[in-house]
Amino acid sequence: MDEISCSCCESVLLLSTQTTKRLCANFMYQNNGLNIDISLDSKILRNTTVTTYRPFKMCTIIPESLFSFACLNILELNKFPRSITVCPRFNVKTKAQDWKLNYRCISISTNMPTVNNQAINNQLNTISLTPSSMMLNNKVPVMTSAASLIGPGQANPPMSTMRVIPNEQIQQNLPPPPQGVIIPN
């Protein structure tokens, strides 16, 4: 099934078990709409499929952490002819504290990628695609998880950072494609 996806993740420490886990908001565009889920170490805690593009909030308890839950607050959600714009924020609440993790808005392509017949005939196992909607000034953004949980009364929380790599640099660092693969211009 064709899909284009993006994730916003943070490392969280569960005090009750003293374990660090990955808390993620995952966005996946499919033909039926925008699938959104909250996961903890790849285990889906809550999910929904959006077909009406309006801001909303989705919350779930955090397993193994008493009195803790995470809310994914979609501050902006717009569908355009060739993309969807999502502006997410995580609210993580515990018994004693409330953190807000802001992310930059993301754009997800609604143009489904296609696989050419030559690639199928050569029976390739994997095909890597860089959706043009993920390009910013002809550069591919690479998400890094730099946000940290900031408690009440502390300075402005840092935003998760995005490092932008020029498209030419990515092309230079890639290994040559397998024979028979056509790389689109």
Number of neighbours of residue 49 by Cβ within 10 angstroms: 12
Tokens read off for 88: 């997410």
Of the listed ranges 7-16, 25-34, 107-116, the one predicted with least confidence: 107-116
pLDDT-based confidence at residue 110 (cuts at 50, 70, 90): confident
Q: Give pLDDT, residue 112.
A: 64
The answer for 18, left when phi > 0, alpha when psi is -120 to 50, beta otherwise, is left
Of the listed ranges 49-58, 81-90, 110-119, 163-172, the one predicted with least confidence: 163-172
Q: Is the pLDDT of residue 60 over 90?
A: yes
Q: What is the dihedral of CA 120, 126, 130, 131, to 10 degrees?
A: 60
Q: Is the pLDDT of residue 58 over 70?
A: yes
pLDDT-based confidence at residue 46 (cuts at 50, 70, 90): very high
Task: Please list, in sequence order, all residues whose beta carbon lies within 8 angstroms of the beta carbon of residue 117, skipping any fewer than 6 positions away.
Answer: none
CA–CA dist 23, 179 (Å, integer): 39
Q: Give pLDDT, residue 113.
A: 58
